[in-house]
């Protein structure tokens, strides 16, 4: 069935507390999607973020970000009182989140909530800890140690902590039992709120598309607790790190800095680490978007310590062997492959063999250097059409900064008019395409420019990831306009 959705990260929702949460505004957004005849809500990774606040650089591939926890829901659960947080100044800017400022204040309130919670813990909490012990114990220990060392990367910890000496870790855990329990309580609260929100969305027939980054952060519990899964030296430092080679868009390429997987070891271990990760993601979301899919066919690795990506080289990835193992344990439905970037025959063969729908990005379609494969007339049904992703400019920002020849070609192709709004013409471009699914950025619904851009790749800036929607912008009028267009383009059931 043809369908459509909106890309809107949780942090971008309006909120009186400086950043979007899983509270009232999230439920109102689901209601908006339902009225607008949308079927999908796409979010970015929801893990706890580290340096640079990037959702793609998380301390854990399993844990949820405490910043999403909604205090008003904790008042309903009688874990907090309004007076515990309503006098705090949360927001400096209605349209941008200051994560560092908010996080420090939020953790203080969450510590109070955790103390209140632990006075009378429900049976569900013990069940949660047992069910999730395979990741939760290490995560709580990792965060407690990190906090005791003032946030230092685990690569800078003392040798016994860094290399996980059993006695050292056991002694620390006994001494800091309350700290470990705090991080476990916070995860229980996070998942209680997440599951409730997801259940509400699903009852409204809205499906959640979640994002699974191909790589994990170096400074993460994933690497610290599973060093054999990665190409590390004897000092546990990465030998190679991930990125993209130089191209027409970037002279230095992209240096991401994530450690490279030891695919030989993973294969010998029957890809258990990846199977566990995928199984968990599928339990969290209705659909999983695998980021940087081309890295499974062939990946670009750069020597650790290099200042840019120029000195890297290509290596062969695990290919279909990995997905065959995943399919056997997790099934093959409910996956989107982010197949953007340099695509060689190996990538195209792998995509075809998995059967995953790939992505068609409209902003790539009219670049005079390339783009033919991204123009709507060349799409296939088994694909997901996007106006842009979190790494792209909003449509109106693209029109402002693109080459004049590219803009002219786009205007001609879609017969765009300023009266309608170029953003609406571009969105019609993906809705009218043959792609089974079409996703638009929330920013494009409002015709916002680069002031609302979510991320500028290969940069660490204060405005990256921080955009927030103004309160009240998701109106019934906008929803009804979208609903009419969904009927026009056959992306919903026709009403009598």
Instruction: Look at residues 44, 45, 47, 56 and name the one whose alpha carbon lies nearest to residue 258.
Output: 56
Angle at 146 between CA 141 and CA 147, to 5 degrees: 100
CA pseudo-torsion sign 215, 220, 225, 227: positive
What tokens does 199 get? 């259940």
Q: Residue 345 CB: number of other CB atoms within 10 A?
A: 8
**Residue 346 among the catalytic residues:** no
Cross-sheet strand order for the sheet of 298-303:
254-259, 240-244, 298-303, 313-316
> Which residue out of 25, 219, 222, 291 is catalytically annotated?
291
DSSP label at residue 356: -
**Residue 291 among the catalytic residues:** yes
SS3 11: helix
SS3 255: strand
3-state SS, 257-302, equals EEECECHHHHHHCCCHHHHHHHHHHHHHCCEEEECCHHHHCEEEEE
Instruction: Look at residues 347, 364, 365 and name the one whose alpha carbon lies nearest to residue 356.
Output: 347
**Residue 120 among the catalytic residues:** no
Q: Which stretch of DSSP H or E encloses residue 441?
A: strand 437-441
What is the distance between the alpha carbons of residues 446 and 85, in angstroms, rounded to a whole number? 32
β pairing state of 3-7 and 40-42:
parallel
> Which residue out of 338, 339, 406, 436 is catalytically annotated?
338
> Which residue out of 72, 165, 346, 391 is catalytically annotated?
391
Rg (CA), the chain: 23
Residues serving a catalytic function are 291, 338, 391
């Amino acid at each position: 069935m043809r369908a459509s959705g909106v890309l809107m990260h949780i942090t971008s929702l309006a909120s009186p507390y400086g950043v979007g949460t899983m509270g009232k505004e999230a439920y109102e957004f689901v209601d908006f999607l339902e009225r607008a005849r949308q079927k999908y809500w796409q979010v970015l990774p929801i893990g706890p973020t580290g340096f640079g606040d990037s959702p793609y650089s998380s301390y854990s591939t399993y844990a949820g970000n405490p910043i999403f926890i909604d205090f008003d829901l904790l008042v309903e659960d009688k874990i907090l009182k309004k007076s515990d947080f309503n006098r705090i100044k949360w927001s400096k800017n209605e349209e941008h989140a200051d994560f560092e400022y908010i996080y420090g204040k939020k953790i203080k309130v969450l510590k109070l909530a955790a103390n209140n919670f632990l006075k009378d813990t429900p049976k569900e909490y013990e069940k949660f800890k047992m069910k999730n012990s395979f990741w939760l114990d290490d995560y709580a220990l990792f965060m407690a140690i990190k906090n005791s060392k003032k946030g230092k990367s685990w690569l800078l910890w003392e040798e016994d902590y860094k290399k996980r000496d059993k006695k050292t870790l056991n002694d620390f855990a006994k001494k800091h039992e309350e700290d470990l329990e705090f991080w476990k309580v916070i995860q229980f609260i996070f998942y209680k709120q997440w599951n409730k929100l997801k259940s509400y969305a699903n009852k409204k027939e809205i499906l959640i598309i979640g994002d699974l980054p191909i790589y994990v952060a170096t400074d993460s519990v994933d690497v610290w607790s599973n060093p054999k899964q990665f190409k590390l030296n004897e000092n546990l430092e990465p030998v190679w790190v991930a990125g993209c080679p130089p191209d027409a868009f970037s002279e230095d390429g992209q240096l991401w800095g994530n450690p490279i997987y030891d695919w030989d070891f993973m294969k010998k271990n029957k890809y258990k680490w990846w199977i566990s990760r995928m199984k968990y993601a599928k339990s969290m979301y209705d659909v999983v978007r695998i980021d940087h899919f081309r890295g499974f066919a062939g990946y670009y690795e750069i020597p650790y310590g290099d200042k840019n990506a120029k000195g890297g080289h290509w290596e062969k990835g695990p290919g279909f062997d990995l997905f065959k193992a995943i399919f056997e344990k997790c099934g093959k439905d409910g996956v989107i492959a982010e197949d953007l970037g340099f695509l060689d025959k190996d990538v195209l063969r792998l995509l075809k063999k998995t059967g995953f729908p790939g992505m068609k990005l409209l902003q790539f379609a009219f670049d005079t250097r390339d783009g033919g494969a991204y123009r709507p007339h060349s799409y296939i049904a088994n694909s997901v059409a996007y106006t842009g992703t979190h790494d792209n400019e909003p449509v109106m920002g693209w029109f402002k900064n693109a080459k004049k020849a590219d803009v002219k070609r786009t205007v001609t192709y879609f017969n765009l008019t300023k009266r309608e709004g170029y953003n609406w013409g571009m969105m019609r471009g993906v809705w009218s395409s043959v792609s089974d699914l079409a996703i638009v950025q929330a920013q494009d619904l409002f015709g916002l420019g680069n002031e609302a851009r979510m991320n500028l790749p290969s940069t660490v800036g204060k405005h990256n990831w921080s955009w927030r929607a103004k309160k009240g912008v998701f109106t019934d009028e906008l929803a009804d306009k979208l609903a009419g267009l969904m009927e026009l383009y056959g992306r919903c059931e026709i009403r009598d």
